[in-house]
Structures are given as C-alpha cells and as structure tokens.
Amino acid sequence: MTPAPVKPPSKPLTGPQKALRKLGLVRDIDLALHLPLRYEDQTRIVRLSDVREGDLAQIEGVVSACQIQLSGRRQLLVTLDDGSDTCTLRFFAFYPSQQRALAVGQKIRARGEIRGGLLGWQMMHPAFQAAGGELATTLTPIYPTVAGLPQAYLRRAIQSALARADLTVTVLPEHLYQIGLQPRWSLREALLFLHYPRPDVALGTLEDHSHPAWQRLKAEELLAQQLSQLQAKRERAQLHAPVLMAGSGPGKSHPLQQQLLATLPFQLTGAQRRVCEEITQDLARPVPMHRLLQGDVGSGKTVVAALAAAVCIDAGWQCALMAPTEILAQQHFAKLVGWLEPLGVQTAWLTGSQKTKERRQMLALIASGAAGLVVGTHAVIQDKVQFKNLALAVIDEQHRFGVAQRLALRSKLVEEQQEPHLLMMTATPIPRTLAMSYYADLDLSTLDELPPGRTPVVTKLVNDARRAEVIERISTQLAQGRQVYWVCPLIEESEALDLTNATETHAQLSAALQGSARHGSAALRVGLLHSRMPVAEKKAVMVEFTSGQMGVLVSTTVIEVGVDVPNASLMVIEHAERFGLSQLHQLRGRVGRGAAASACVLLYATGDAPRLGETARARLKAMSETNDGFEIARRDLELRGPGEFLGARQSGAALLRFADLATDTALLEWARRLAPLMLDQHPALAEEHMQRWLGGKAEFLKA
C-alpha cells in the first residue's frame, strides 16, 4: 500500500499577512470589498502661495534647512522652499536615513495637512519622496488598517486581489435588476472606481456614499443580507418542534391559560390579547416559533410570557425563561410564582450565585420534569442543566445575549429532530427599517398599548447647579409616602469624566435628608446598589426598597430594566448627558408604574464641565419631548445607528458595512422585493451572491 504523501508544512505567515487575517481579509473578494476611508490627491503639485489652512496638499521644493531640535521634545525640522513660500516639515520620530534624504539641497515632494501659525506653514510627519517621476492619475486611497499593515502593502494586496477576484459575472439577472441607478454600474466598475477614483470626481459624493458606484455596492450588500435572512427563515420552517395546544396534556380538562386569565388581578389590553393569540397559534404548529415580542416599558410583556408558558406547561412540556441580570430574573420569578404556583405549577430558580445544595435541588426538579417552569440567568444554559422535555424558551432583553447563548438554550431539547419554540422579548422598540433588515428572519409582535391606569411621566431637564432644588423635591416626595430612584453612571472616581460616583451621592443624600424632620425613620433610609456588590447584599437592598422600607435608592444602571416598584414616583438621572437615549428611556420607565403622578429629572453637567455636545443635546431634547418608546427608538437609530438595538445579536452575523438604514430605505425596499424572486427563480445565483458578500457568516442567523 502506497503511503499518503506527506503534506509539506505551510510557510509561516508574515507580520502583514497576520494583520490581513486580523482584519478578516482572507479571500480576494474580502480585499476587493475593503474600501478606502478617505483619499489623498497625489495627481497634482500645489504651490504654497495657493494653499489654505487645513488643506491636504502635495508640495514640491528644495530643502533649504535641516536640523535636529534638542530643546523640549527631540524633533527633526526641515524647511522646504518651493519658490513661492516656505513650509516647515516637523518629524518627532525619524531615522538617520530619513535625515540624509532630507539634507539641504535635496529636491523632494511632500504630502500632508497644511497647518498655519506664527512661524508660517507647517506639516506634521508628512509623507515624502524624491521629486520627479510621474504624478498619480487617480486619487490615492487611504484604507482602514491595523498595526503592522502599512498602507503601501495593503494597496498592493488590494490591487492584486482586484485583478484576481471573479467580478466579471453580473450576479443579478438584468431583468430583475431594476434599481434605477444611473449610470448602471457593474460590480467591477463600481469597485475599481471606488478604489481609484478620478481626480475630477466630487469628493462629497464619495464621502456621503451617494455616488452611483456606492449605490451599486450598497444595493448588493442589502440584497445579500435579505437573501440570508429569508433563507434562514425558510430553513427554520423545515425544522420540527413540539405541537403545544392549550389543554392537550394528560388529564387536562381546564386549560391552564384560561385559569391564569381568570385569576389575574387585571384585564389584558387589546394588544396583549392580540399578541397572545399570535403566540398561541405559533405554538400549535409543528415548526419552531421564532418570534420577537417588542413593547415599550410597562406594556406588559411578562404576563404575555406567562400565558405562553401556561400553554406549554398545560401540554405537558417545560418552559425556560432566561434574563440577563439576576435582579431582572428575580423580578420575573416573583411575578410568575405569584401567578402560576396557586394553579399547581412548580417553578425552579437558577442563578450563578446559588448555594450548592439549593442548586442541586433545582437541577433535580428540572431533570425530572417536576419543574414546569425554569427561571434564571445565564446559569440556565450551563452544561449541567438537563431538561426532561423543554419545548419553549423565552429570552428577555434578547439584545443582551449572544448567538452562542441562544443556540445553547435551543439545544436543551433532547427529543431527536426537534427544536424548542423561541420567544424573544425586548423593551427597546425596533424601528421599522431595522425590523426590515436585521430582524427580517423573525416574526414580530408588538405591544403598542399601555395598561390602563399608567400615568404619563413628566420629564424635566435640570441644570446641575439646581441640585439643591432636586433634593428638596425628593424630600417632598418622601413626605407624601413616595419613593425615589437616583441613578449615577459610575461607582468610582474617573479623572477622565469627573463624574460624581454613586458612593459619594449616597453619602450626600443621606446627610441632606437626615436634616429634615418631616419623615419617619423608614422613609429616610437611603440605599446603595451597584454591580460590584455581593449578590446577597444586592438582593437585601432590593427587598428593602420594593417593600417600602427604604425611601431612596441610589443606584448605577443595574436597575435599568425589570425593576417594578409602583410606589416609586421620581427618577433622578445624574449626568444624563452621558447615557444613551434608549437607556434613558428604560430608566424613566422605572417610574409611572402606579397611580401617583411621576417625574423624571435629567441632571446635566454645567460649570467647569465640558459643554454639551450636539448628540447629547439631541438625546436630552428627545427625552423631554416624547414618552413614546417607538419615537425614541426612531431618533436613537438616527443618532447612533443600529448598535444598541442589535446588541449581541450580530455576533458574527451579517453586518452592514456600507448601507445606512437612515438614508437607504429605498434600496432596502428593493432588496426585500428581489430576495424571494432570487431564491425562487435563481437559487444558484442567490447562493453565489451570499457567498460573495457574507462567506460563512450567514450561519449565525439561524440563532
């Protein structure tokens, strides 16, 4: 038998090759799609008499002086004279070879940003070369890079990849490609133009991505995303899941969901009834539900989850609910136990901070199937947790969890060839364009109606100089028997941000409120809660506050979601300019949950603090103008892009590098229309298109 040939060891990667891999530039198409951040104009020489402050210019002249300055920071100063004026080239890091190349009498060409000053024109660390030679015929690209990957190496690699990459075949059939781009650019034409644009192009159209070449790339990118989302949805429809029908379990005569509805101390809103019906219909189908439930703060998502769990448990299966923080998981657990335990449902509790004995008991209940409902944090998906028959997984604040975590929860169903139903919930409403793109693979349910009795929260922007007035307002609230949140962004001093920390604020409020004689001892209690406290201590503080024994809770953003204290009527957010818009909205949602009039005070920095930036100003303005979470979400998308809404969902998934959801809605609509036609009529071309743009990243959409 002839032995298999020994494969020669592959050559070790060089530093630049490793850097390319770090950027994800492995295939030729990856390099071809690595587009410039900006461009330099090396097509012409500019006279110094014609330059302006801030210009990126290429000048040519003779070195009239070259010296090393030793006073202060060591630097090389070179004076370049082009006959119309002089410019000082300043180098803080240099080699002897560079110093020789810049010797007096040498004629050189230098490129950089022109700076003015008392000493005349200057360039800091300009690129330079010997004068002469032909000028460039196109703008010179400047690419995103990392340490160890020089621009010259990257330019050569991209130029070589463009020559090799298969860009000649138009993936999109012409009769389908009715995008209305004029002129109609091919992918090769668009890429070559964007890597090497002509010097007469309007730079504004390149910078704002409105040029037809950019439009072509954005259209194809959006189409690849829509194809991958639709394909993931169709593949999921081929999977099998337990059929969960209300009252279908052994010996069941009265569906558990109906019993729960009959015992709830409130009536469901129309939106809650509609969403429950959507979920119940999904659970009765033999394919896995993959639904995202979105609803503003206080819209009643937890009871919808409880009613879905009731259908699952009623059919003889288990349900798991996973929350990102122990505080939020504890809130869910308390509510669900209160609703379901009187109906005979046993609930298990799992967190990372549990004592060994309690944890062992919980694991036994889950493995035996005695626990119909399991509530917890990330601990629910650990290897040691074995369900008897998990059929429904509910993930709250889904953007806090990564793809791998959701996949781990779905893998807990031990039945062969079956997957559990998945219900994801978010209190951050998803803007329409985001739902059309990043969440196109999900079915979307919306709670767009608040329960009756909720009072609108009045939002006030207050200068930090009026801090004493805010403390007096707290004193008044406490005198009326109400409770107050005070949220701080940090728990330690930060020289960079100079923010008042939670510990100091706690001490200040305690001292200020002790001076008032209008309250009982319980109302005067000021508690402190932050993420570095031991779990038992956190739990004790929350119990005191929720039970009304504590009047003021000073906290970091660990109370952002889930905390439900109807008696709390005032939320003070310190350094509100440092928070994101959706985070501010979530915090505001902690009050206004009872019948009392509620307010949210946004304290912003003044005095020696930096002036509010435009983005921070826009966030605070939005908060003061509307309580509508959907409008807040729309403005947040405009201000900061999709990051906050996606969270960990996009761990490895198809990111949009070029398209902008705020400006490219027409292209997104086109891609949505074209994707099903491509998959149905040209499946091979659709696969080729996804591979070109996404490689293997589309697999993550299956989570």
What is the secondary structure of 225-294 as a DSSP string?
HHHHHHHHHHHHTTS------TT-STT-SS-HHHHHHHH-SSPPPHHHHHHHHHHHHHHTSSS--EEEEE
Whether 481 and 553 share a structural domain: yes
pLDDT at 158 over 70: yes
Whether 306 and 285 share a structural domain: yes
For residues 686 and 681, give the distance between their C-alpha atoms in angstroms, rounded to a whole number: 9
CATH number of the domain enclosing 50: 2.40.50.140
pLDDT attached to residue 399: 55
pLDDT attached to residue 558: 64
Question: Looking at the domain assignment, is residue 6 inside a domain?
Answer: no
Question: Looking at the domain assignment, is residue 562 inside a domain?
Answer: yes
Lowest mean pLDDT among 139-153, 311-325, 446-460, 470-484: 446-460
Q: Give how many domains the chain has, as a whole number.
A: 4
Question: Looking at the domain assignment, is residue 465 inside a domain?
Answer: yes
Buried/exposed code over 343-358 (b: 16+ C-beta within 10 A; e: otherwise): eebebbbbbeebeeee
Lowest mean pLDDT among 43-47, 132-136, 344-348: 132-136
Whether 406 and 513 share a structural domain: no
pLDDT at 603 over 70: yes
What are the pLDDT digits (tens) for 495-523? 444 455 788 888 888 888 875 544 444 45
Name the DSSP class of 659: -
Domain range enclosing 234: 167-239+673-695
Name the DSSP class of 465: G
What are the pLDDT digits (tens) for 386-444? 899 999 989 887 655 555 566 666 666 666 678 889 998 887 777 777 777 777 778 88
The residues near 35 (Cβ < 8 Å, ≥ 6 apart) are: 141, 143, 194, 195, 217, 658
Q: Find out whether 367 and 387 touch, Cβ atoms under 8 Å.
A: yes
Whether 260 and 392 share a structural domain: yes
What are the pLDDT digits (tens) for 245-298? 865 555 454 589 999 999 998 899 999 999 999 999 999 999 999 898 988 877
Whether 196 and 219 share a structural domain: yes
Question: Looking at the domain assignment, is residue 533 inside a domain?
Answer: yes
pLDDT attached to residue 84: 93
Whether 173 and 125 share a structural domain: no
Whether 291 and 391 share a structural domain: yes
Ordered DSSP codes for 68-136: EE-SSS-EEEEEEE-SS-EEEEEESS--HHHHHHT-TT-EEEEEEE-B--TT-EEEES-EEEES-SPPP
What are the pLDDT digits (tens) for 625-654? 888 887 887 787 777 666 555 554 444 344
Whether 222 and 274 share a structural domain: no
What are the pLDDT digits (tens) for 70-89? 887 889 999 999 999 999 99
Mean pLDDT along residues 466-478: 90
pLDDT attached to residue 161: 92
Whether 300 and 398 share a structural domain: yes
pLDDT at 232 over 80: yes
Whether 213 and 177 share a structural domain: yes
The residues near 308 (Cβ < 8 Å, ≥ 6 apart) are: 276, 279, 280, 283, 319, 392, 394, 423
Share of the chain above pLDDT 90, in %: 30
The residues near 176 (Cβ < 8 Å, ≥ 6 apart) are: 674, 677, 678, 681, 682
CATH number of the domain enclosing 563: 3.40.50.300
Lowest mean pLDDT among 164-168, 211-215, 620-624, 639-643: 639-643
Domain edge (last residue) among 420, 447, 474: 447
Domain edge (last residue) among 447, 473, 494: 447
pLDDT attached to residue 299: 84
- The helix/strand/coil state of 479 is helix
pTM of the model: 0.73
Question: Looking at the domain assignment, is residue 19 inside a domain?
Answer: no
pLDDT attached to residue 649: 45
Question: Looking at the domain assignment, is residue 212 inside a domain?
Answer: yes
Question: Looking at the domain assignment, is residue 467 inside a domain?
Answer: yes
What are the pLDDT digits (tens) for 381-394? 777 888 999 999 89
Question: Looking at the domain assignment, is residue 32 inside a domain?
Answer: no
Q: Find out whether 304 and 272 touch, Cβ atoms under 8 Å.
A: yes
Compute the mean pLDDT over every residue in the chain, rounded to the nearest whole number: 82
The residues near 359 (Cβ < 8 Å, ≥ 6 apart) are: 350
What are the pLDDT digits (tens) for 220-231? 889 988 998 898
Q: Which of 323, 339, 341, 303 is nearest to 379 (CA)?
A: 323
Residue linked to tokens 């959006």: 222
Whether 440 and 465 share a structural domain: no
pLDDT at 484 over 90: yes
Whether 436 and 298 share a structural domain: yes
pLDDT attached to residue 454: 73
Q: Find out whether 389 and 244 touch, Cβ atoms under 8 Å.
A: no
